Chains A and B, each alone.
Chain A
Amino acid sequence: MVASGSKCRVCRGPAIIDLPRHNANFCAEHFLELCRRQVTKAIEHFAMFEPGDRILVAVSGGKDSLAVWDLLIDLGYQADGLYIGLGIGDYSEASAVYAREFATARGLRLVEVSLREEYGYDIPTASRATRRVPSSSCGLSKRHLIDKAAIDGGYDVVVTGHNLDDEAAVLFGNKLRWEIEYLARQLPVLPARDGFPRKVKPLVRLTERETAAWCVVRGIDYLVEECPMAAGNKHLAYKAALNAIEADSPGSKASFYLNFIERMAPLLAAERAVGVESVGTCRECGAPTTGEVCAFCRLVEKAGAHERVPVELVVGRWGKR
């Protein structure tokens, strides 16, 4: 017994998803069409890359990175994946399996880097050694290794799976504190400079619910479980706050973020020009840095010297902050 239910806005067939922000429902086919259109619009509007460019997608095994990789291939671009083994216990092991299976099933190339095997540490250990939240050494490690893989591999551009909710949450946090410098730089395209690759976010016009739905409709298996070290972070609190507003007033998240990009970001252009310091190169690894040794190499030294800390000992420790 299937009651009539809502119909697709385009074809009047049975809908599989309601998108309150578009005030409409869609069938599978027309939902996918809408996602392709939103991603194409982001790529073209921000001139992210062109057909023929060599693209490296940072892949975590979660919904967003697999969705963006799938969308790019679907839209006819050429893109390889990069998976970084962070050593976060079962979470990392499971996420690697999803990333590999996605790549293998589609005949795509997945480059892998392991923090433990190649640099002698993992994120739980780094968190303990630096006495900082796991996401701080995690973000630093990922940024460095993504940049390095892109430069070494001769890629034109790095793609990340950041979606509308991610960007809106970061924007919300930066605005709560009026972090003008961060606000000025919060754009969906980060141009290449001094040994840093170009970085772009093609999913900024899709919400998390939409990227997850893309995966479900396309039959993409991804790791639904969250990183155990994410619990309690502010990013999640900001997302919950924005979704509470969104539930009352659909479309708020999109206008909050997209209007910031259209209306506010241009006013901050002067701020962006400031602070592009000239950089030297790291004595250890040759990466661009303002110091003698880059932050990543300092982390490798510190975390690599620390005895191994299992993920269970770090989880929850930072949760209540």
Chain B
Amino acid sequence: MNPMKVLLRNPRRELEVSGHRRVNSLLDELALNRESHLVIRNGTLVPGDADIADDDTVEIRPVISGGS
């Protein structure tokens, strides 16, 4: 099994995370607010209590826009 790939944006960067956990735990570990991010697992949106594990590709997409 390969570690989970976690893609972060703004700026774009990639992390590798091993082991199974819930989406919300991953956000907490990365100190990211749930209200300002969406989590997309293998191309599909998932809720905070979804499980993510090795071999998954997870995008954590910020949703906050800054302009006027």
Contact = CB atoms under 8 A, between A and B. Distances in A.
A62 B68 contact: no
A16 B61 contact: no
**Size band of the interface chain A makes with B:** 35 or more
B51 A5 contact: yes
Interface of A: 1-3, 5-6, 15-18, 20, 25, 28, 60, 62-64, 135, 138-139, 165-166, 207-209, 211-213, 216-217, 224-227, 230-231, 233, 235-236, 239-240, 243-244, 246-247
A208 B63 contact: yes
B53 A1 contact: yes
B38 A213 contact: yes
B61 to A, nearest CB: 6
13 contacts: A5-B47, A17-B45, A25-B47, A28-B45, A208-B65, A212-B63, A227-B66, A230-B65, A240-B64, A243-B33, A243-B35, A243-B36, A243-B64
Interface residues of B, number: 27
B66 A235 contact: yes
A27 B30 CA distance: 26
Given A16-B44, A212-B61, A5 B68 contact: no
Contacts of A208: 36, 63-65
A62 B33 CA distance: 21
Contact of B65 (A63, A213, A243): A63
B3 interface: no
Contact of B67 (A2, A6, A235): A235
A247 B67 contact: no
A200 to B, nearest CB: 16
A158 to B, nearest CB: 15
Contact of A1 (B33, B44, B51): B51
